[in-house]
């Protein structure tokens, strides 16, 4: 995953907290059933205090008491906090109590493990951690620590509940100079703060009490948007000594623009190279495509988290010489290359992941973690994912589609929508021939034609070890376990093609008397079982919409006869369609199976999820159908 903008925000959102108290008083017997029913962790009391002395620094004080009820909550027993020259960790202390309230352990910061992280292209830092061991549950833990952060770009959100966690009480307080302009917005909750003003400082306090555990729902929106929380932003901020304003997208984009200033210039000889590369291109789109293809073939992605906390890219000249870069550097390089031939483009910062929701257009905040490039046009702008060597030209994929991207223009930031995902951007077509011999063994040959995410998947499998290739073929695609196989790339100018040849010791799935039962396809167009649909509250996300098509030809040995063919199936739901058909070609003594599956949208509304789950369950039922073949007359034994 390419992460550049979480920076300090990533560390802050992990912060947990409590207040001074007597842990022995926090027994599970005193917790209301509505809080502890189905809970793996009970937070008895939590206080988070954030103090901003000015726009340069914040101090976060954490103190929390919680009980891990059972093994399902064991992840809460790991204390794990980040520090660096810009983020200091101080006065960390952990106390551990048994079910009777007796203290059984104590960890001071100096007794915890601290390891260095980051070297070379990643900013130096440290992780301080302690794993609390226990032989029995429940176990109660009291945690205290403080962080001093030399940045106000990303205030910690108030995130007060996680899956399987019941909360008795949680409080969050911010004290900040009024001129910073603290803004907040509740997400998946309606809680509001109590606000006080003492003249110089404004004080905001949020509180929640007696919250029931949240059930984890597989396949939901990213955790950043999934659970109740309050987003908090300071309009006036400073990050690593660079002051900025977050009150509008325009202002924030202007601040980012200043970080990139002067870094999109290539030396004269490289400018001449790109002019030569594109001189006979018929139009601007072809020029852009040639440069994009050049970059894909000659540069590689490397995660880099240097430069103003990972926000400033390396210069285009440096990237050109090194032939590597992160999403910032490679997007900036593409921008510089286009600039040499007179084509204007904009880097765009964005929140990336297939299950991310668009950033809130009405709440400017630094919720970005990736950079792409946009070449603006009056009608159809061109969007480029510059970190992938296999991505299609002008196709972003669900990693950054369906979002709001902040274009960094000469006039500041402009929030625009990225393209919507479509199924025909991710296609996988296959044509298979299975030649079965008299001894029931067989040879298969499958030619795949892939585009979009399937193209990247095929490339990944091609580069993998033989053992891992077999794992992918059997467990991801659903092929029979082969006795031997060859998976190779095919030459094709227009689309990505691969060929799979397999040797099978036995083609039929099973036999019964004179009958052979054979799968009509060598692999499954759909092999996964979707999560349960009961009481689904959150939308479900597939990785991407797609189109799959397969034609399989089963060539039977002489003397065999068809006893039964699978029945044709055709069904659909609001999001997808499926069709399978079968026929026998007598002159070829072959059975044909043609199948298509189209998923039109990758985001499924919670209210529609049950029908989609049934749809894919019906596909699995269709995949269980068999071709029934009779052995040659007079045959008494197996082939």
Query: What number is the average pLDDT over the span 159-164?
Result: 96
Query: What number is the average pLDDT over the span 3-18?
Result: 36
Residue 222, pLDDT above cutoff 50: yes
CA distance 213 to 36: 7
**Quick check: 395 and 372 in contact, CB under 8 A?**
no
Query: What number is the average pLDDT over the span 25-30?
Result: 84
- The single-letter DSSP state of residue 37 is T
When comparing pLDDT for 527 and 548, which is higher?
548
DSSP 36-60: HTT-SEEEEEEEEEEEESSSS-EEE
CA distance 449 to 454: 9
State the pLDDT at residue 495. Answer: 73
CA distance 625 to 582: 11
State the pLDDT at residue 9. Answer: 37
| Paired residues of 334 in beta bridges | none
Count of other CB atoms within 10 angstroms of residue 630? 16
CA distance 548 to 427: 6
pLDDT tens string 84-134: 888 999 999 999 999 988 999 999 999 999 998 765 455 668 899 999 999
Query: What number is the average pLDDT over the span 529-551?
Result: 96
Structure tokens at 619: 């596909």
Mean residue pLDDT of the chain comes to: 91
**Cis status, amide bond into 605, omega within 30 of 0:** no
**Quick check: 210 and 245 in contact, CB under 8 A?**
no
**Quick check: 514 and 635 in contact, CB under 8 A?**
yes
Structure tokens at 290: 């040639």
CA torsion angle 214 217 221 224 (round to 10): 40
Residue 552, pLDDT above cutoff 90: yes
35: left (phi over 0), alpha (psi -120 to 50) or beta: alpha
**Quick check: 26 and 18 in contact, CB under 8 A?**
no
State the pLDDT at residue 199. Answer: 83
Query: What number is the average pLDDT over the span 404-421?
Result: 97
Query: What number is the average pLDDT over the span 244-253?
Result: 97
Query: What number is the average pLDDT over the span 231-237?
Result: 97
Q: Determine the length of the chain.
A: 639
b/e map of 173-192 (b: 16 or more CB within 10 Å)? bbbbbeebbbbbeebebeee
State the pLDDT at residue 84. Answer: 87
State the pLDDT at residue 308. Answer: 56
b/e map of 137-159 (b: 16 or more CB within 10 Å)? bbbbbbbbbebbbbbbbbbbbbb
State the pLDDT at residue 12. Answer: 36
The answer for residues whose C-beta is within 8 angstroms of residue 145's C-beta and 6 or more apart is 62, 81, 89, 90, 91, 92, 93, 109
CA distance 603 to 421: 10
Query: What number is the average pLDDT over the span 146-157?
Result: 94
Residue 16, pLDDT above cutoff 50: no
pLDDT tens string 594-620: 999 999 999 999 999 999 999 999 999
State the pLDDT at residue 17. Answer: 35
Sheet containing 561-564: order of strands:
510-512, 515-518, 627-630, 561-564
- pLDDT band, residue 590 (cuts 50/70/90): very high
Residue 54, pLDDT above cutoff 70: yes
Residue 8, pLDDT above cutoff 60: no
Residue 639, pLDDT above cutoff 80: no
Using DSSP's 3-state secondary structure scheme, residue 419 falls into coil
State the pLDDT at residue 116. Answer: 85
State the pLDDT at residue 526. Answer: 94
Domains, the chain, with CATH or none? 7-233 (2.60.40.3140), 249-417 (3.10.620.30), 424-630 (2.60.120.1130)
pLDDT tens string 447-486: 999 999 999 999 999 999 999 999 999 999 999 999 999 9
Q: At 423, phi and psi to the nearest 5? A: -70, -35
| Paired residues of 110 in beta bridges | none
Residue 323, pLDDT above cutoff 90: yes
Residue 380, pLDDT above cutoff 60: yes
Residue 4, pLDDT above cutoff 60: no
pLDDT tens string 355-375: 999 999 999 999 999 999 999
Query: What number is the average pLDDT over the span 144-171?
Result: 96
CA distance 397 to 391: 8
Query: What number is the average pLDDT over the span 40-48?
Result: 97
Using DSSP's 3-state secondary structure scheme, residue 278 falls into helix
- pLDDT band, residue 379 (cuts 50/70/90): confident
State the pLDDT at residue 123. Answer: 62
């Amino acid at each position: 995953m390419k992460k550049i903008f979480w920076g300090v925000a990533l560390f802050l959102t992990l912060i947990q907290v409590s207040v001074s108290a007597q842990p022995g008083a926090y027994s599970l017997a005193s917790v209301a059933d509505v809080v502890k029913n189905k809970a793996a962790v009970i937070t008895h009391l939590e206080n988070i205090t954030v103090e901003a002395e000015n726009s340069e620094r914040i101090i976060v004080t954490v103190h929390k008491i919680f009980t891990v009820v059972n093994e399902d909550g064991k992840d809460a027993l790991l204390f794990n906090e980040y520090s660096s020259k810009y983020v200091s960790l101080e006065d960390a202390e952990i106390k551990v109590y048994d079910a009777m309230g007796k203290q059984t352990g104590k960890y001071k910061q100096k007794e915890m493990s601290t390891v260095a992280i980051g070297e070379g292209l990643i900013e130096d830092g440290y992780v301080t951690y302690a794993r609390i061991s226990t032989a029995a549950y429940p176990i109660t833990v009291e945690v205290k620590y403080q962080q001093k952060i030399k940045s106000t770009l990303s205030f910690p959100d108030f995130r007060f509940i996680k899956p399987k966690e019941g909360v008795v009480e949680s409080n969050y307080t911010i004290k900040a100079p009024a001129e910073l302009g603290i803004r907040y917005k509740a997400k998946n909750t309606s809680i509001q703060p109590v606000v006080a003003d003492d003249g110089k400082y404004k004080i905001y306090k949020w509180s929640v009490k007696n919250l029931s555990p949240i059930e984890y729902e597989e396949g939901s929106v990213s955790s950043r948007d999934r659970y109740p929380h309050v987003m908090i932003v300071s309009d006036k901020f400073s990050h690593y000594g660079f002051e900025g304003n977050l009150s509008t997208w325009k202002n924030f984009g202007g601040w980012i623009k200043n970080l990139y200033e002067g870094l999109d210039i290539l030396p004269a000889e490289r400018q001449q190279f790109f002019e030569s590369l594109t001189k006979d291109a018929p139009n601007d789109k072809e020029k852009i495509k040639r440069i994009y293809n050049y970059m894909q073939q000659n540069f590689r992605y490397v995660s880099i988290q240097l430069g103003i906390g990972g926000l400033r890219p390396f210069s285009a000249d440096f990237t050109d010489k090194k032939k590597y870069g992160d999403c910032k550097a490679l997007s900036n390089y593409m921008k510089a290359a286009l600039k040499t031939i007179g084509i204007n483009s904009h880097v765009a910062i964005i929140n990336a992941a297939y299950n991310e929701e668009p950033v809130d257009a009405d709440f400017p905040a630094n919720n970005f973690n990736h950079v792409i490039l946009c070449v603006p046009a009056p009608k159809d702008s061109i969007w480029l994912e510059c970190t992938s060597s296999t991505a299609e030209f002008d196709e972003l994929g669900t990693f950054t589609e369906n979002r709001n991207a902040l274009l960094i223009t000469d006039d500041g930031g402009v929030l625009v929508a990225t393209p919507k995902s479509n199924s025909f951007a991710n296609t996988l077509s296959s044509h298979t021939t299975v030649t079965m011999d008299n001894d029931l063994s067989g040879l298969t040959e499958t030619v795949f034609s892939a585009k979009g995410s399937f193209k990247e998947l095929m490339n990944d499998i091609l580069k993998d070890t033989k053992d891992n290739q077999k794992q992918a073929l059997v467990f991801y695609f659903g092929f029979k376990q082969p006795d031997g196989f060859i998976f190779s790339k095919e030459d094709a100018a227009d689309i990505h093609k691969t060929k799979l040849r397999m040797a099978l010791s036995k083609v039929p799935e099973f036999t019964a008397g004179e009958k052979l039962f054979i799968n009509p396809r060598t692999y499954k167009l759909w092999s996964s079982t979707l999560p349960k649909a009961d009481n689904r509250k959150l939308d479900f996300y597939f990785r991407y919409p797609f189109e799959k098509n397969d034609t399989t030809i089963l060539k039977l040995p002489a003397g065999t006869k068809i006893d039964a063919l699978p029945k044709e199936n055709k069904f659909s739901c609001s999001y997808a369609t499926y069709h399978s058909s079968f026929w026998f070609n007598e002159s070829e003594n072959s059975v044909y199976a043609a199948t298509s599956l189209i998923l039109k949208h990758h985001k499924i509304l919670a209210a529609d999820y049950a029908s989609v789950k049934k749809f894919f369950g019906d596909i699995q039922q269709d995949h269980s159908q068999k071709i029934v073949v009779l052995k040659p007359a007079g045959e008494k034994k197996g082939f």
